[in-house]
């Protein structure tokens, strides 16, 4: 189950932003980390089965005051096949025919040399 977790963190400088992203990225199950919000003070984490309490506690310990704002499930949009692909039948691919190799003992000398065996 994918989750989207938003944590508000007191971020005062660029170094704090980088540190907050590193702390969030280390948590198990994290797929992506973003900084968002008006003051760029919210860390948005998307991932599978992330412990939101552990994430918030780590951010408090290593960055500064942090508040858990929301935890919500992310539903992936269903991918539909194009209508043309549904109507096509799955027929086997046509087999390729290659000319038989000509060996030395099979060469027939034709009195009319209008064509060439060697390509």
The predicted pLDDT at position 5 comes to: 95
Read off the pLDDT of each residue in 17-26 and give the average, rounded to a whole number: 93
Other C-beta atoms lying within 10 Å of the C-beta of residue 24: 25
At 23-56, the pLDDT tens digits run: 999 999 999 999 998 889 999 999 999 999 999 9
Which residues neighbour 76 within 8 Å (Cβ) at sequence distance 6 or greater? 2
| Inside any domain, residue 36 | yes
| Inside any domain, residue 40 | yes
Nearest to 7 by CA among 96, 104, 15, 47: 47
The predicted pLDDT at position 110 comes to: 56
69 touches 42 (CB < 8 A): yes
The predicted pLDDT at position 64 comes to: 92
pTM for this model (two decimals): 0.62
At 68-94, the pLDDT tens digits run: 999 999 887 777 776 665 555 555 666
CATH number at residue 55: 3.30.70.100
Owning domain of residue 63: 2-73
């Amino acid at each position: 189950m994918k989750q989207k977790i938003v944590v508000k963190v007191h971020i005062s400088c660029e170094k704090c932003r980088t540190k907050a992203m590193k702390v969030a990225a280390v948590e198990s199950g994290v797929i992506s980390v973003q900084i968002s919000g008006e003051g760029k003070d919210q860390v948005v984490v998307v991932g599978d089965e992330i412990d939101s309490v552990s994430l918030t506690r780590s951010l408090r310990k290593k960055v500064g005051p942090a508040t858990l704002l929301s935890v919500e499930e992310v539903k992936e949009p269903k991918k539909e096949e194009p209508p043309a692909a549904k109507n096509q039948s799955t027929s086997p691919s046509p087999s390729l025919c290659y000319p038989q190799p000509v060996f030395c003992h099979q060469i027939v000398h034709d009195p009319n040399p209008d064509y060439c065996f060697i390509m």
